[in-house]
Amino acid sequence: MSDLRTLPDLPGFGKSGKPERTQTLTELADWLAAWMRTCGLEGAALIGNSFGCQIIAETVVRHPGLAGRIVLQGPTTDPGGNSAWEQLRRWQRNNPNEPFTHKIVSMRDYADCGLRRIWETWMISLVDHIEKKLPHMNLPALVVRGSRDPIVPQSWAEEATRLLPQGRLVVIPGGRHTVNFSSPIEFVRVLRPFLRGERSE
């Protein structure tokens, strides 16, 4: 059984091995599913931020019944913003206001996995159509958006929630794109009842 000391780093990232070739979205999803099964985590909740939401969506669609519920925090990439220029514009608006701790972690991660892998993974995120997968994800799903997130517009958060058969949206006031850094206490406050299967206020 897994615990907080064995949370996964996907291939190419964090402390995992660094394959020479950048993994596709399908490969990342299959790796996550295999890791969950190896750890005996069938039925567990999956929580992802940004591109992590796209990996979760791919995993749930390819491996139905594996996850028990999901949290999509700041889900990318919306159909209206899937160009490199638009995403760059949004990131430039977001980054100056992210917490300093987030900048440190991001720079360390980018240096660790390398610019080529970062670039190729970003390109993968732009061509993925998460909106086509959401209707097939029939399990409890919570969409979380920071109210000051320029990368995930409110209209897209609402549309993503509508597309999910069991979707629910929570907006955290003042939160940025990575609310786990900018608003961690508020994020946990909305996560707890959902992960326990309770209805939030």
59 contacts: CB under 8 Å, gap ≥ 6: 29, 30, 32, 33, 46, 66, 67
Q: Quote the tokens at residue 18.
A: 């660094």
Q: Mean pLDDT lowest for which of 71-75, 83-87, 126-130, 180-184?
A: 180-184
Per-residue pLDDT tens over the stretch 13-41: 877 888 889 999 999 999 999 999 999 99
Report the half-sphere exposure of 195 (CA within 13 A, side-chain side). 12
Block residue for tokens 């609402």: 158
- Distance of alpha carbon 11 from alpha carbon 23, whole angstroms: 7
**Which domains are delineated in the chain?**
21-195 (3.40.50.1820)
Does residue 172 carry a pLDDT above 50?
Answer: yes
Per-residue pLDDT tens over the stretch 50-61: 999 999 999 999
Q: Please give the residue that has the higher pLDDT: either 51 or 96.
A: 51
Please report the pLDDT score of residue 6 as a whole number.
56
DSSP of 155-170 = HHHHHHHHHSTTEEEE
Per-residue pLDDT tens over the stretch 97-143: 776 777 677 777 777 788 898 899 999 999 999 999 999 999 999 99
- Distance of alpha carbon 148 from alpha carbon 140, whole angstroms: 25
* Under 8 Å between Cβ of 55 and 27: no
Does residue 1 carry a pLDDT above 50?
Answer: no
90 contacts: CB under 8 Å, gap ≥ 6: 81, 150, 151
Block residue for tokens 């608003």: 183
